[in-house]
A and B are shown apart, each in its own frame.
Chain A
Amino acid sequence: MTKTQVAALLPMISLGGSAVLMLLLISVKRMHGLITALTISGFCAALFMLFSIRPFLPIDVTGLIVMDGPAFIYTAIILGSGLVASAIGYGYLERQNEHKEEFYLLLLLASTGASVLSAASHFTSFFLGIELLSVSIYTMSAYITARPRSVEAGAKYLILAGMSSAFLLFGMASLYGETGVMGFADIAEALRGGPASPTILAGLVMIVVSVGFKLALVPFHLWAADVYEGAPAPAVAFIASVSKAGAFAVVFRFYSTAGFHSIEDVGVIFTSLAVASMFAGSLLALLQENVKRLLAYSSIAHMGYLLISLIARGDGAARAGAIYIAAYAVTSLGAFGVIASLSTERGDADRLGDFRGIAWSRPWTAAVFGAMMLSLAGLPLTAGFIGKFLIVASGVGKGLWTMVMSLVITSVISLFAYLRVVMEMFRTEEASFVNGIAPLDSYLLGILMLGLFMMGVYPAPIISAVDSLIALK
């Protein structure tokens, strides 16, 4: 391994290193503030390392990991979101009667897993990344042991994610058995020979199932609502941003580099998954009384939209996907950040009624939450608008009319769900929430909202940065 190759791994190494350091520290003495600060500096260090290897991209590391432009983008999104999620976690955990420190440990490990995923170019790193991510998320979901729902969420995720890992392994084994290779590029080479055999197709379908589970695509979405509802808000913020970014990054790379886009059936499978997710997600979101469940269904619909960029392929689609994920991460972090900051040790502020009238009693919190809802709906001034615009553009550019029209129809449907939340905030009755928001949380939410508007109003810098990175393959 050369020095550059080691350097390419530095972001992941610094995340893992911080986790080990914290493990030792916790065993000596529990200090919530210090641990949070360490976590945040761990993320900052990783980000610094990431940006310092920017001139050397793309770097191929032992065939397992490739640190190229897209990997850089997704790793940056993951690190940034992880940082914000841990900051959200601080205020939230401070109010809980639990051991607080291990949460950050899990958060760091999960982020490491997601970073590995975003740079994975081989089945081994694919599997390792996904397991590292999933195992940490089981525990994060069940973190508040005093709440039965939280434990239930963890157990549910554990069982279903275990299933999906089994599928993934079986799928990988089938592909390996048929082709004899495990690197994405090698598989593409092996497939070039002729029509895919049934074993390859079966293996591929199993991988799709597993990935569909991670992204919560219909019909593999059954865990999403329960986990979102039961898991503590900072963990959900993490799942919605980091976990989705990592999973999407690896799917995008796998689909576009392993040569499967040439198999027509795979496109059909993804199209039907996308359309089903859009419709089921936005229709079921309408029925929810719980904001976290509502956001869970909304995330299902959003992952459906995101698949448009997967199928459209090409540089424009890669840009659309990356920016959509970034916008979605900012939005989810903001939305769950608000929920976390309003939550108490009794439970999360996740009923629709909890938001009644907060536009009048706490206008700034309501402004942040409202902005996030509008961003989810894809309305202008917000990042969600730019994301949705680019996605529609990539779909229209490739003539994916079924998906684009489904997007249009389901966007209108899901508007009901988001407007319901906005309307609830503007109801004139007195607010049910009176507790104040910690200063750290309010700064954080302010920054997120600012970022949301910056991306929505003047997206040129971020688009050109993404473009220049995507070219580095």
Chain B
Amino acid sequence: MLVIFLVFIPMIGGLIAWAAERVGPSWPRRVALFALVLDLIITIAVLPPIPPSRGGWLAEFRADWIPAIGATIHLAIDGMSLLLVILTLFLGMISVLCSWTEIRGRVGFFHFNLLWTLSGIIGVFTALDMLVFYFFWELMLIPMYLLINIWGHENRVYASYKFFIFTQAGGLLMLVAMLALYFIHREQTGAATFGYADLLGTRLSSEMGMLLMLGFFAAFGVKIPALFLHTWLPDAHTEAPTAGSVILAGLLLKTGAYGLLRFLIPLFTDAAEAFAPVGMSIGTAGILYGAVLAFSQKDLKRLVAYTSISHMGFVLLGAFAGNELSLQGCIMQMLGHGLSTGALFIIVGVIQERMHTRDMERMSGLWQAMPRMGGFALFFGLASLGLPGMANFVAEFLVLIGSFRISVPLTVIASLGLIASAVYSLWMVQRVFHGSPSDAAPPDLSFRETIVLLAMMLPTLWLGLFPQTALTVSSPSIETIAAHGTNDRAGSMGIEEGRMR
């Protein structure tokens, strides 16, 4: 029962926030914050703390939806979902806080869209019925589209179009594949169902399996984004308002990665195994491509956007490597990237709010005027390049040792990405914060902004220093997925044996 509340609280909160605009411009913010805090309390405090053994769910909700076609509202949460839901709520709160002064017009409607996007994302992370999953998958698009389209920057219309069209195209292909799976399953067993657990056992011929897998990959690959399907990302991230960028980079991309882990690999094990070399290559290419393009940007926000492509390449690599180590790396990367990139977008947002530009050529020596901001930027820049002691390092390291067992050449190439990321991160910090100070002397971080960035700093450090906290929570889910995983034989050594420090 609790799980359904997780989805509904932001929805209801969104409606109230919209209405609360009549009371005063700050009320939508407060309502939104309250709804997210309440949701987080329910998530952390009320759910059973110890993850059950393999395959179990921490909490589950099931109700009939459309019995005639076998669709049920089936939501459940396990360790992997739990981590991602917490990330969602955390970044949600951060988004509300970071847009406190940036968003001045139509505050109520802004928070309505924000909360409905979050609600859709939580739905995606918890849905266990394919149709419900698709429902939420599509549901989060519309408010996100509006966030970019209404509150975005100069080129927002183009960017929002592109975002919507890409994701919708992928989603429809997934819908077709999903329905084909449904009918094949019905033919085999006579049971009409969209249930995840039921569909898992469907036998597929190798061609059919490959086709359906590609249908799902179209949807997830667009979101992650995989190289060649990524072109919407730089535009959408750059043009979105800060809160929108945080949610896009921190959460929306993760829904693609989550879909890969939860649905694509377990449902189409054989096809995914056959596709693994291609998937891993796309991931590796994405790592380098994103890094190289990030380095060549003049627009600060676009730079951060391209780093997302690079970082999410690791997720793709790890997911298709498919053993426990690499899958754990994926989860860590989702968390670490959500935090570090989200923070970088906030920093860019703050700079833009003060200097009204994102052009790095017009920034120089900002450290003089904004030392606190400089410190944070350096910290998150280092986090983003994978400095040991921070979440991204653990994640990338796990992915690399996991994929090393599968393909040495690809792993070697992928690790070059670490060098490239050092280049663009440090270059960015050097470019913006060092050098001769420019005439403009924007004020340093306000108290609220400092709190926001501090709040993002702590989990980044915690996950880097004590990754086992998160790994323990996600390991039952990961074991289940790895059992289906593309290369489970090669990666039999689990986290428990190879204890990470």
Contact = CB atoms under 8 A, between A and B. Distances in A.
Contacts of B182: 393
A381 B183 contact: no
Contacts of A458: 65
Interface string B168-179: 110011011001
What DSSP secondary structure best describes chain A's contact surface? helix
Given A408-B172, A412-B169, A426-B146, A464 B68 contact: yes
Nearest to B139: A380
A463 interface: yes
A423 B68 contact: no
B138 A412 contact: no
Contacts of A419: 145, 161, 164
Given A379-B142, A396-B180, A464 B168 contact: no
Contacts of B66: 459-460, 463
A411 interface: yes
B69 A380 contact: no
A381 B182 CA distance: 22
Chain B: interface size category: 20 to 34
Contacts of B27: none
Contact of A408 (B142, B160, B161, B173): B173
A404 B160 CA distance: 26
A467 interface: yes
Interface string A448-473: 00000000001110011001000000
B139 A408 contact: no
B135 interface: yes
Interface string B119-159: 00000000000010011101101100110011000000100
Interface string A416-436: 100100010010000000000
Given A381-B139, A397-B183, A463-B68, A416 B172 contact: no
Given A408-B173, A411-B172, A412-B172, A379 B141 contact: yes
A460 B172 CA distance: 22
A374 B179 CA distance: 22
Contact of B179 (A319, A380, A392, A460): A392
B176 A392 contact: yes
Interface in B48-76: 64-69
A385 interface: yes
A73 B168 CA distance: 32
Contacts of B141: 379
B38 interface: no
A389 interface: yes
B500 interface: no
B138 A380 contact: yes
B165 interface: yes
Interface in A298-341: 319
A412 B176 contact: no
Nearest to B105: A428
Interface in B159-213: 160-161, 164-165, 168-169, 172-173, 175-176, 179-180, 182-183
Contacts of A408: 169, 172-173, 176
B156 to A, nearest CB: 10
A460 B64 contact: yes
Contacts of B65: 458, 460
Interface string A364-384: 000000000010000111000
A130 B133 CA distance: 43
A318 to B, nearest CB: 13
A420 B142 CA distance: 14
A326 to B, nearest CB: 15
A239 to B, nearest CB: 28
**Max chain B Cβ within 10 angstroms of own Cβ: one of A360, A385, A405, A412:** A412
Given A393-B69, A412-B165, A426-B149, A380 B64 contact: no
Contact of A467 (B68, B150, B172, B179): B68
B185 to A, nearest CB: 12
Contacts of A411: 168, 172
B161 A460 contact: no
Contact of B138 (A360, A385, A405): A385
Contact of A392 (B67, B160, B161, B175): B175
B221 to A, nearest CB: 16
Interface in A177-211: none
A26 B180 CA distance: 57
A276 interface: no
Interface string B66-106: 11110000000000000000000000000000000000001
Contacts of B136: 380
A415 B179 contact: no
A415 B162 CA distance: 11
Contacts of A396: 176, 179-180, 183
A416 B135 CA distance: 21
Contacts of A463: 66, 68-69
A397 B134 CA distance: 18
B146 to A, nearest CB: 7
A460 B149 contact: no
A381 B180 CA distance: 23
Given A408-B173, A411-B172, 10 more contacts: A319-B68, A380-B135, A389-B131, A393-B182, A405-B176, A412-B172, A423-B157, A460-B68, A463-B68, A464-B67
- Please name the 5 residue pairs, one residue from A and one from B, whose CB atoms are nearest each other, closest first: A396-B179, A408-B172, A412-B169, A463-B68, A380-B138
21 contacts: A379-B138, A379-B141, A381-B139, A392-B175, A392-B176, A392-B179, A397-B179, A404-B176, A405-B176, A412-B165, A415-B165, A416-B165, A419-B145, A419-B164, A423-B149, A423-B160, A426-B146, A458-B65, A459-B66, A463-B66, A467-B68
